Amino acid sequence: MAFDFDVGSVLLIDKPYQWTSFDVVNKVRCLIKHHKHIKKIKIGHAGTLDPLATGLLILCTGSYTKKIDEYQGMEKEYTGTFVLGATRPSYDKETEIDNTFDISTITEDQIYQVAKTFVGNSNQVPPQFSAKKINGERAYESARKGINLKIEPKPIFIREFEITKIELPFVYFRTLCSKGTYIRSLANDFGIKLQNGAYLDTLRRTSIGNYHVNDAFSMETIEKLIAQ
Looking at the annotation, which residues are catalytic?
A: 50
Residues 119 and 114: their CA atoms lie apart, in Å, by: 10
Neighbours of 12 (CB within 10 A): 17
Residues 44 and 209: their CA atoms lie apart, in Å, by: 18
Residues pairing with 175 in the sheet: 78, 161
Residue 103 host element (H or E): none
Longest dimension (CA), the chain: 62
Q: Which residues contact 134 (CB under 8 A, 6 or more apart)?
A: 142, 149, 150, 151
3-state helix, strand, coil in the chain (%, to 5): 30, 35, 40
Residues 137 and 219: their CA atoms lie apart, in Å, by: 30
Residues 182 and 124: their CA atoms lie apart, in Å, by: 8
Residue 188: C-alpha distances to residues 23, 36, 55, 111, 140 (Å): 27, 45, 21, 14, 17
